[in-house]
Structure 1
Amino acid sequence: MTQSIHDGEVQVYLGKEDPHEVPMGQDLDEERPQQLEEEKRNFTSQGMWPLYQYRWWLREYIAEFFGSFFLLSFGIGVNATTLFHTGATASYQTNVTFLAVTFGWGFGLAIALFMSMGVSGGHLNPAVTIANCVFGAFPWKKAPGFFLAQLLGSMVGALNVYGLFKSHFDDGHQNLLPHETMASKFSGVFVTYPNVPNGYAVWSEVFNTMALMMGILAVTDSRMTPALNFKPVAVGLLLFVIGLTTGANSGFALNPARDLGPRIITAMLWGSEPFTLYSYYFWIPTFMPFVGALLGMFLYVFFIIPSCT
């Protein structure tokens, strides 16, 4: 998610160069023997662990996987926590739950970006990746690997939360009412559903993803007022604000992997209902964020022209 605009061109941070990178097939022992000997005694050193060349080659995809994994673990985790552990009164649940959910997703994103931004750029979102590809800021050849890493990370994150709260889901299964199913009662913990008709939810997802994309570009644009080391926090705050203000209409997925990955997991657990509920709502959080991200990137590149050089 570390894009910037320079001289009218969109650029993206593709990850840091490793000062100790060794070409594939080259014997590590030929490079800096003394340094490698010291690294063998340091468990935090990459040289201490095997398959370094392969881990280096896959580092960006691994970063996207773990960033997505922790984003979904924290985000879905706060959804589950507020469902199972909030107070008994309706007013308490209404006020505290939504604030906690938006806070958890916002700062869960910040932590995920701290883990991934310095390696892969911290996309964590297929819509962000595709927007950068379309505008020439990211190589198309890396997009499929990023998509796969983001989706798998989201799926494993959803499974992680299911495992953490399985006893609660089992209790809920035993207390289902005659007209309820596990999917209708609990899939909302994992995926987004609308509080408005689907037509309004379409614009909600487009607008919110557009706002997210423009905000990311502004935060990371060195010609504006860059957030420097606080970029992950700034982007997390941006998601928090979007969720708190306009996110309730559609559940503010803003990220196809964030919604589709857990939706696949819940369908595997509880049947196809997660894809059919609310008049097949799944297509809105799956596809509309792409439209919003492309629109947001176009509007920023075309209209936002900072005066500082």
Structure 2
Amino acid sequence: MSAFVSEIIGTMLLILLGNGVVAGVVLRHSKAENSGWIVITMGWGLAVMVGVYAAGIYGGAHINPAVTIGLATAGEFPWADVPLYILAQFIGAIIGACLVYVHYKPHYDATDDPGLKLATFSTAPGIRSTPYNLIGEIIGTFVLVFALLSFGANTFADGLNPLIVGFLIVSIGLSLGGTTGYAINPARDLGPRIAHAFLPIKGKGSSDWGYSWIPVVGPIIGAIIAALIYGILVP
């Protein structure tokens, strides 16, 4: 139960800070408005760092179903615990998205573009192309999970791992995130998308359910491939 609660809290903080930085950049009259992609990628990297630190107190600090599935595929995590972790991650993601909405409520009201509002909840591709969008999420998550498994073969000073993981997220965002917005985390995208669908957001428009499967399926495939290849290279 401690691990379950830790995953909820860690994922909640991840989404609150990660989607929070997006809201700050894209919503009208925010003091961070138009500060750009570098701010978003740095904000997401720091959000992951905070989430991992918080979730690591009692749990495995996965805060991402793709990471949980990847570690289980690699034999580093028991499959029996996978459903509980994923449930906690989705609960945390939905709560975090709701908190972003509450925090930025006047700015949501002042923003007319429904696409910008959705961007503060979930990802969307720069160019909509189903096969390439899916490949982009697979590649990004492959890098994430393969790097995480590789980090386990190295020794860091106590407490340094979450910081290194945060820099990993920044690297993925800067190098690979410009195509799809680098969900690389099914809970990060689908949880807030669900929140977007039920929250009473003024002029919110569609939740873009037609795209929603790509940030779920792509990361899972990428995580499994990363785990299998890592297992071949490091038996």
- Output the TM-score relative to the length of structure 1: 0.70
Aligned to 1:290: 220
Aligned to 2:71: 132
Deviations 1:38-97 (A, max 9, x none): xxxxxxxxxxxxxxxxxxxx1000000000000000000100111233678xxxx3xx41
Identity %, equivalent residues: 33
Residue 193 (str. 1) matches residue 131 (str. 2): no
Residue 167 (str. 1) matches residue 110 (str. 2): no
Instruction: State the alpha-carbon separation in 1 of the partners of residues 18 and 220 from structure 2.
Output: 21
Asked whether the equivalents of residues 26 and 116 of structure 2 are also in contact (C-alpha less than 8 Å), the reply is: no
How far does residue 218 in structure 1 lie from its aligned partner after superposition?
A: 1.4
In structure 1, runs of 5+ residues without a counterpart are: 1-57
Aligned to 2:208: 275
In structure 2, runs of 5+ residues without a counterpart are: none
Paired positions, count = 229
Deviations 1:250-285 (A, max 9, x none): 110000000000000101135782134xxx111100
Residue 82 (str. 1) matches residue 25 (str. 2): yes
Aligned to 1:9: none
Asked whether the equivalents of residues 24 and 32 of structure 2 are also in contact (C-alpha less than 8 Å), the reply is: no
Aligned to 1:42: none
Equivalent of 1:142 in 81, 88, 98:
81
How far does residue 194 in structure 1 lie from its aligned partner after superposition?
A: 0.2
Helix, strand or coil at the partner of 1:237 = helix
Instruction: State the alpha-carbon separation in 1 of the partners of residues 207 and 189 from structure 2.
Output: 11
How far does residue 226 in structure 1 lie from its aligned partner after superposition?
A: 3.9
Residue 213 (str. 1) matches residue 156 (str. 2): no
Instruction: State the alpha-carbon separation in 1 of the partners of residues 51 and 17 from structure 2.
Output: 9
Q: Which amino acid aligns with 2:133?
A: A
CA 1:133/1:99 → structure 2, altered by over 3 Å: closer, same or farther? same
Deviations 1:181-230 (A, max 9, x none): x3x34101110000122221111100010000011111222xx3545421
Asked whether the equivalents of residues 64 and 153 of structure 1 are also in contact (C-alpha less than 8 Å), the reply is: yes
CA 1:97/1:86 → structure 2, altered by over 3 Å: closer, same or farther? farther
How far does residue 298 in structure 1 lie from its aligned partner after superposition?
A: 1.5
Instruction: State the alpha-carbon separation in 2 of the partners of residues 220 and 190 from structure 1.
Output: 31
Q: Which amino acid aligns with 2:148?
A: I
Q: Which amino acid aligns with 2:7?
A: E
Residue 72 (str. 1) matches residue 15 (str. 2): yes
Instruction: State the alpha-carbon separation in 2 of the partners of residues 195 and 114 from structure 1.
Output: 31
- Output the TM-score relative to the length of structure 2: 0.91
Instruction: State the alpha-carbon separation in 2 of the partners of residues 260 and 212 from structure 1.
Output: 19
Aligned to 1:111: 50
Residue 237 (str. 1) matches residue 180 (str. 2): no
Q: Which amino acid aligns with 1:211?
A: V
How far does residue 141 in structure 1 lie from its aligned partner after superposition?
A: 2.2
